[in-house]
Amino acid sequence: MPFQYLPVMAQNSAPKPPRVLVAPSKPAWCPIKKPLDESRVALLSSAALRLAHQEPFIPREDFGYRRVPSDPSAAEIIIDHHSGIGRVPKQDPEIVFPRTALANLQKRGVVGDLSPFHFSFMGGLRDHDKVENQLATAITSDLKQAQVDLALLVPY
Amino acid sequence: MIGTAHDIMSKVAPPRAVFVDHPVGRTFGPPHDRARNEAVLARALEELPKFSRSGEIRDPRFQWSIDGSRAWEDELLAEMRNEAKG
């Protein structure tokens, strides 16, 4: 049986009520139009990742996002997310944001192409309407502009 | 989506989800293990053509420990409880 996170999160948040989880208001399914080896891929991360020169995320209320270059040699990544489990991934963000692994798969021809940028935002935001209608909409626009075929979300 | 929290993924119903049975915050393996990062990502992506409906969670049976031990759950629990105190 998989590890159960929700009871631990509920205990951790007490005496405040546990976090409310919300599914998208509309079905998010869309068909896959190309095989993976012909697809342009972008990573999405809720770890609040950014480069050092980019504006830091504001915990709990930042509905913006940052573009992170998909080239693994481009500048070191900082994790702004406030979660305590960040001690380990802050040693090596690649374990939650596999930028190098994805670039290697593209070199091997497993993945067709990389989006010039990956995208990151603050996970755990509580205003779900804003997440869906402001944050997700803005990222979707960027994904379309970058002609991304497959957006791969890695929750933090 | 590629995620480690099966119970959360089942509640938020992403269109396509691959479950990685690793501790949260280590989705693609331990720090600085690039071979494992790539192996996990490649294996997860192999699931892509197999999805047939929205909300499906596919489980390729990833294991954190080679021997299948789940001792990591106790360590993670302690880490999460320390997080709450800290």
Name every chain B residue with its beta carbon within 8 A of the beta carbon of A94. 28, 34, 37
Is position A129 within any domain?
Answer: yes
* Pairing outcome for strands A65-69 and A117-121: antiparallel
Is position A11 within any domain?
Answer: no
ipTM > 0.90 for the complex: yes
Is B54 in the A-facing interface, judged by CB distances under 8 Å?
yes
Is position A19 within any domain?
Answer: no
Counting one residue from chain A and one from chain B, the pairs whose CB atoms sit within 8 A come to 134
Is position A25 within any domain?
Answer: no
Is position A14 within any domain?
Answer: no
Residue A80 to residue B20: CA distance in whole angstroms: 23
Kindly list the domain boundaries of chain B, sorted by start residue: 2-85
**Number of domains comprising chain A:** 1
Phi-psi group of A147: left, alpha or beta (phi > 0 → left; psi -120 to 50 → alpha; rest → beta): left
The shortest C-alpha distance from B23 to chain A (Å) reads 8
The residues pairing with B57 across neighbouring beta strands, listed in sequence order, are B17
Is A31 in the B-facing interface, judged by CB distances under 8 Å?
no
Mutation target among B1, B9, B40, B41 for the A interface, most CBs of A within 10 A: B41
The shortest C-alpha distance from A29 to chain B (Å) reads 5
* Pairing outcome for strands A150-154 and A40-45: parallel
Residue A14 to residue B21: CA distance in whole angstroms: 26
pLDDT in tens, B27-38: 999 999 999 999
pLDDT in tens, A107-156: 999 999 999 999 999 998 989 999 999 999 999 999 999 999 999 999 99
Cβ count within 10 A of residue A41: 22
Identity of the amino acid at A120: S
Element containing residue B9 per DSSP (H, E): helix B6-12
Report pTM: 0.95
Segments forming the whole domain that contains residue A110 = 34-154
